[in-house]
Amino acid sequence: MHSSPPGDRASAPAPGPLPAELQDAVAAMLRAGHVPGLSLAVADRDGLLCAAGFGLADLAGRVPATPGTAYPWFSMTKPITATAVMALAEAGRLDLQAPVDEHLDFPPAPGGARPTVEQLLTHTAGLSNPLPIRWVHPAGAPPPPAGDLLRRLMRRRRAYRYPVGERARYSNVGYLALGEVVEAVTGTSFESSLRETVLGPAGMTRTGFARPQGAVAATGYLRAPRLADPLLRLLLPRGVAGSRTGAHLGLRPFHVDGPAFGGLMGDVLDAARFLRLHLGEGQIDGRRVLSADAARSMRTIAHPGRPFDHGIGWFRRPAPGAHEWVEHYGTGAGFWNVMRLCPDRGLGIVMMTNSTTAYDFGPVFTRLVAAPWA
């Protein structure tokens, strides 16, 4: 296990170490899932309780993963985007019930239904969810305009796949559109708006839309036989596939084409600050970002669907019995992340890894919630 300075700007005491039995559980989870490296943090509303790193952020260079290692967040960006939209709505700059086409050139659904901004937030706009495997570009290349990507997707024959306003169906396209809505109502870039409305007020200084200055970034890995390399190089955008280390094909640095649905990059320490913001009912370190009512409404799971039941920016897999959390994953080529908010226990947990495939994080999360700090 690798630790680092707390890095949390709250006045709470410095975080303690991860209990030894939990260190063993995390290490076993990594071995079972063939995960090269992992960073995790646990927080309550007042501060960081624990932060640790396991394994390697870069296999070839033998660079350890630490709490300060930066990872692409992929879809863990969505709760931050949703928070920004809710903040704009509370400021009177955006009407959640307004049709999206009041802000964008956005086609109606078959039959004429016009999705609203809120339906984009809750994944009830009826949109399809095409596989975003090539929606990235090498880190040194200029990003394509997100609006161009959205227009191309909405011109597809099956841009809408489900009835508008009914069951929730997860869609990256909806959050791509939300980024364009934010730009339309603020008159500035989505990236600037997010920094102004959420990242800056929450003190998330190590997170942005490129590798944070001075940060060590994890290398993403695909675990696959060497024989698969030619196919993987064809599937990935030019310049993204890198060199192989043993059973893993490394990926060169890249950024996501649509910042609002998956473009953030940063560390678990900043993710813990975002969790603290929501554990604090919209407030962190005395600074209010959202009203308590808005923060609670975001985590209200009111929209059943597949594969998740949705709130606003948060989701939960359907399962019988009571639930004590909401969460969001952030997955894609090279990385698999999960962020969970447990309001009833007053805890938030985040894990980020440089593994393309999922790992059995559920039992470890259960033990983290039941650890002595709970």
pLDDT confidence bin for 318, thresholds 50/70/90: confident
Residue 6: its pLDDT value, please? 44
- Which has more pLDDT, 28 or 140? 28
Residue 343: its pLDDT value, please? 95
Residue 9: its pLDDT value, please? 41
- Give the tens place of pLDDT for each residue, 35-78: 999 999 999 999 999 999 999 999 999 999 999 999 999 999 99
- Give the tens place of pLDDT for each residue, 233-246: 999 988 999 999 99
The number of C-alpha atoms within 13 Å of 49 and in the hemisphere containing its C-beta is 20
Residue 323: its pLDDT value, please? 74
pLDDT at residue 196 tops 90: yes
Beta-strand pair 47-58/315-316: unpaired
Interval 188-199 mean pLDDT: 97
- Give the tens place of pLDDT for each residue, 288-301: 999 999 999 999 99
Residue 213: its pLDDT value, please? 82
Interval 363-371 mean pLDDT: 94
- Give the tens place of pLDDT for each residue, 14-43: 567 888 999 999 999 999 999 999 999 999
- Give the tens place of pLDDT for each residue, 227-285: 999 999 999 988 999 999 999 999 999 999 999 999 999 999 999 999 999 999 999 99
Residue 203: its pLDDT value, please? 97
* Tokens, residue 129: 């969810």
pLDDT at residue 321 tops 70: no
Averaged pLDDT of the chain: 93
- The answer to whether 116 and 162 are in contact (CB under 8 A) is no
Residue among 320, 331, 318 nearest 361 (CA): 331
Residue 286: its pLDDT value, please? 96
Q: Give the rounded percent of residues in the chain with a pLDDT score beyond 70.
A: 95
- Give the tens place of pLDDT for each residue, 141-182: 888 999 999 999 999 999 999 999 999 999 999 999 999 999
Residue 214: its pLDDT value, please? 85
pLDDT at residue 187 tops 50: yes
Residue 303: its pLDDT value, please? 97
Residue 285: its pLDDT value, please? 96
Cα 34 to chain centroid distance, Å, stands at 22
d(CA 372, CA 363): 16
Residue 8: its pLDDT value, please? 43
Q: pTM of whole model > 0.85? A: yes
pLDDT at residue 313 tops 90: yes
CB atoms under 10 Å from CB of 372, counted, come to 7
34-43, 111-120, 204-213, 336-345: least confident range: 204-213
Three-class secondary structure assignment of the chain: CECCCCCCCCCCCCCCCCCHHHHHHHHHHHHHHCCCEEEEEEEECCEEEEEEEEEEEECCCCEECCCCCEEECHHHHHHHHHHHHHHHHHCCCCCCCCEHHHCCCCCCCCCCCCCEHHHHHCCCCCECCCCCCCCEEECCCCCCCHHHHHHHHHCCCCCECCCCCCCEECCHHHHHHHHHHHHHHHCCCHHHHHHHHHHCCCCCCCCECCCCCCCCECCEEEECCHHHHHHHHHHCCCCCEEEEECCEEEECCEEECCHHHHCCEECHHHHHHHHHHHHCCCEECCEECCCHHHHHHHCCCCECEECCEECCCCEECCCCCCCCCEEEEEEECCEEEEEEEECCCCEEEEEEECECCCCCCHHHHHHHHCCCCC
- Give the tens place of pLDDT for each residue, 75-89: 999 999 999 999 999
